[in-house]
Structure 1
């Protein structure tokens, strides 16, 4: 059996089905998978979604903040130095990633992640390091086609790139959506404080990357207009308190962190999902539940925004609080929902596993 190690900053709960599926698939290829990760800190820890699994090997995270930059000084090399191959995050500020590629020796090293700078502008140093990582890595695993195209533009041969088609276990959500009745789901939400009537949903972490302050300001605008838009929030994070004033005046119901059944109950009755910034895997939830997404013309959405078609599944307001409030008003009326036949099937975790498995085969070839 050959050994492959995958290094992660931390493993959120939604990644568990992927790693367990990949482990089974690679075992059939004669490859043992080890997943090595730090424990979450800061905003990630506040999301309360860290995975607990007996196969997960953890290391103590270490970091250093220099201005707006966070350097990850976590060093897990002692755990994977005897592996045949290691896949590290594509991250110019990660000591693990830089050292794995710089001192790879005979070991085969891959990188995975967004690959393109989707969610924030890169400074000159980080950009240069990340392009060096791409060119020197044996194989590149890009979440989405845009990342794969970026790798090609900086000189990586197509044969060394795998497009993963990043996803979550949408089958579990689809099953819950099928088996939960709208009546019982609504009764469950009502028992948790959600008032009767139409509502919008926010699903995900509550931190700066999701522009929670912007969302709170839009709610202030709606309150000033005497709008009856109600927002149901499933998720938690270090900025939960920013939505406290809107919750106190009855605009928002804060449900906290929830699992798949909670997500299905919220999405079943939602007129639309709102996310003013950094659209990510919520795009998969929207496809699975056939719920339109309201967002903004913000340049730093995550790769999974590529799953949604603007003007069909995704309604994009100007990057302005009042314009976003207008879109929320329209969305709450049900006016944004496309026809049922406009929805493609969501990407599956099974397809993601097979795509990644194909890349691992090429990495180890």
Structure 2
């Protein structure tokens, strides 16, 4: 049986289903999957998890000036592995050891990631350094099709790149959303003291790149145009105090902290729009699965999954100004026919970007890298 090891610095909740299903799919095809992961003890997102069959190891943080580096003592788990898959991250020291090991022993390694840091200038030192290592692996698991194109343009063989189509379990989210009734929605609105349907929702980490101040300024303008507008903020992070302070002076702004599972889905059930003017990534899939169109901006530092949003089809991308963003949200709040068209687009996208597709893509890439033919046939899917 071939053996594969994936090393993750962090294990967020949304990855649990993926790793469980990938492990099952690979086992059916004669491949044993192991997972080693760490945690960020300083994280305020409250979104990290544990996995019974995986191995937790303490991650050591090393300060080098203003830079944080991470060492995961995962060497005991390397022997006997036919392939080791790591996140493509400059700060993960284990990656450099694996590159040296590959150079002298021929052991296969693969990268999984974005290709470059999309929250920084493409030509800054960090991305220049990252590009220097782009081709020094045996296989690439690219988050999206645009990441694959970037890798190919920078010299990595196209036939050794798997487009993962990064996703979460949208099927389960859709089922949970559809299981909620109108009375469930009214009950939550009553708890929050909301007597309006014009509700905007933010769900995610609360930190600088998410541009919470931008969101609050826009919300003030929206409220001036849509008199019964309410904004609900779900999540936690280093800038949570900004939301709490704003909510203390705005009776229409509701901060409810982090929510998971069905509790989080309930907030999508009462919202008309998903508001994310800053960094947008996997959260766009939440909006698809829960039929709540995203309104974002052409912010230059989105994550790769922003390519799933089709402007005017399953969401809206505005100019990157508070005024324009507020105007577009206000217009959508008052144009139900247009909003419903976007909802239909969300339903279509939710069926395209699924965890099942991601698992099959990833498993197929591993089998190709190991020169194995599927024992259990993987279905053809849209890429």
- Confirm or deny a common fold (TM above 0.5): yes
Equivalent in the alignment of 2:194: 195
Q: Structure 2 matches for 1:299-310, cutoff 5 A?
A: 299-310=300-311
One of 71, 74, 95 as aligned partner of 1:73: 71
Q: Structure 2 matches for 1:1-365, cutoff 5 A?
A: 1-42=1-42, 45-65=43-63, 69-104=67-102, 105-122=105-122, 124-191=124-191, 193-197=192-196, 198-222=198-222, 227-248=227-248, 249-335=250-336, 336-339=338-341, 341-343=344-346, 344-346=348-350, 347-365=353-371
Could you say what secondary structure the match of 1:278 adopts? coil
Residue by residue, what CA displacement relative to the aligned partner does 1:210-254 show, whole Å, maximum 9, x if unpaired?
Answer: 122322333344567795421112222221111113321213212
Residue by residue, what CA displacement relative to the aligned partner does 1:142-200 show, whole Å, maximum 9, x if unpaired?
Answer: 01001000110011111110000000001111111111112212313422x25120211
Partner Cα distance (2:269, 2:48) in 1: 26
Could you say what secondary structure the match of 2:141 adopts? strand
- Segments of structure 2 that go 5 or more residues without pairing to the other structure are 372-383
8 Å contact from structure 1 (residues 283, 307) kept in 2: yes
Partner Cα distance (2:280, 2:135) in 1: 28
**Bigger shift: residues 280-289 or 54-63:** 54-63
**1:92 deviation in Å?**
2.2
**Bigger shift: residues 135-144 or 333-342:** 333-342
Residue by residue, what CA displacement relative to the aligned partner does 1:7-49 show, whole Å, maximum 9, x if unpaired?
Answer: 112010010000000000111122211111111243xx21111
Gap change, CA 1:46 and 1:334, over 3 Å in 2: farther
Partner Cα distance (1:278, 1:130) in 2: 21
Residue by residue, what CA displacement relative to the aligned partner does 1:287-324 show, whole Å, maximum 9, x if unpaired?
Answer: 21222111112101111111110123222222222332
Gap change, CA 1:64 and 1:296, over 3 Å in 2: farther
Partner Cα distance (1:213, 1:67) in 2: 29
**1:65 deviation in Å?**
5.0
Partner Cα distance (1:48, 1:242) in 2: 18
Partner Cα distance (1:68, 1:226) in 2: 45
Partner Cα distance (1:220, 1:66) in 2: 42
Residue by residue, what CA displacement relative to the aligned partner does 1:30-76 show, whole Å, maximum 9, x if unpaired?
Answer: 2211111111243xx21111112212312222334556643333342
Gap change, CA 1:247 and 1:153, over 3 Å in 2: same
Gap change, CA 1:75 and 1:334, over 3 Å in 2: farther
CA RMSD of aligned residues (A): 2.2
Partner Cα distance (2:324, 2:63) in 1: 35
In the superposition, the TM-score normalised over structure 2's length comes to: 0.87
